[in-house]
């Protein structure tokens, strides 16, 4: 229970202990206010749980989207290999991004054709 819920329960207990007569206008007002406060506290607690659930979902989503640190070493360099599909044989080839120079020829290890053929100028 939250602190607010505990306080309202305490006040309701006090009101019951005082044996307030619900027929008197003043007592009816006090008892009505205590009931309303109890409903507000319950709604507040439910809302807090819902917001906490949304916050956890958002944290999971941020981890999925940003996924920082998994592919980077201490210097911020990427360690993961790049996956590239050969335009000729359509096999997937893993390439090391640190050793990849697009100015050089890169034959496909499966079919021997150039992985990055030059496009005709138009």
Same domain, 40 and 89: no
Average pLDDT, the chain: 84
Same domain, 78 and 37: no
Q: Which residue has the higher pLDDT, 83 or 80?
A: 83
Alpha helices in 18-105 (DSSP H): 25-66
The yes-or-no verdict on residue 74 having pLDDT over 60 is no
Same domain, 81 and 41: no
Identify the domain containing residue 43 by its residue range: 3-66
Q: What is the pLDDT of residue 49?
A: 93
The yes-or-no verdict on residue 33 having pLDDT over 90 is yes
Q: Give the C-alpha distances (Å, rounded to integers) separating 112 from 2, 87, 89, 99.
A: 69, 11, 9, 19
How far apart are the C-alpha atoms of 109 and 98, rounded to whole Å? 18
The yes-or-no verdict on residue 55 having pLDDT over 90 is yes
The yes-or-no verdict on residue 83 having pLDDT over 70 is yes
Lowest-pLDDT range, 81-85, 96-100, 103-107, 108-112? Answer: 96-100
């Amino acid at each position: 229970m939250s602190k607010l819920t505990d306080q309202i329960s305490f006040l309701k207990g006090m009101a019951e202990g005082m044996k307030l007569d619900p027929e008197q206008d003043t007592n009816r007002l006090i008892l009505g206010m205590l009931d309303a406060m109890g409903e507000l506290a319950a709604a507040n607690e439910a809302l807090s749980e819902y917001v906490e659930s949304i916050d956890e979902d958002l944290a999971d989503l941020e981890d999925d989207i940003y996924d920082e640190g998994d592919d980077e070493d201490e210097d911020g360099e990427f360690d993961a290999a790049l996956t590239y599909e050969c335009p000729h044989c359509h096999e997937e080839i893993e390439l090391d991004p640190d050793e990849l120079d697009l100015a050089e020829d890169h034959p496909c290890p499966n079919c021997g054709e150039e992985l990055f053929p030059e496009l005709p100028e138009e």
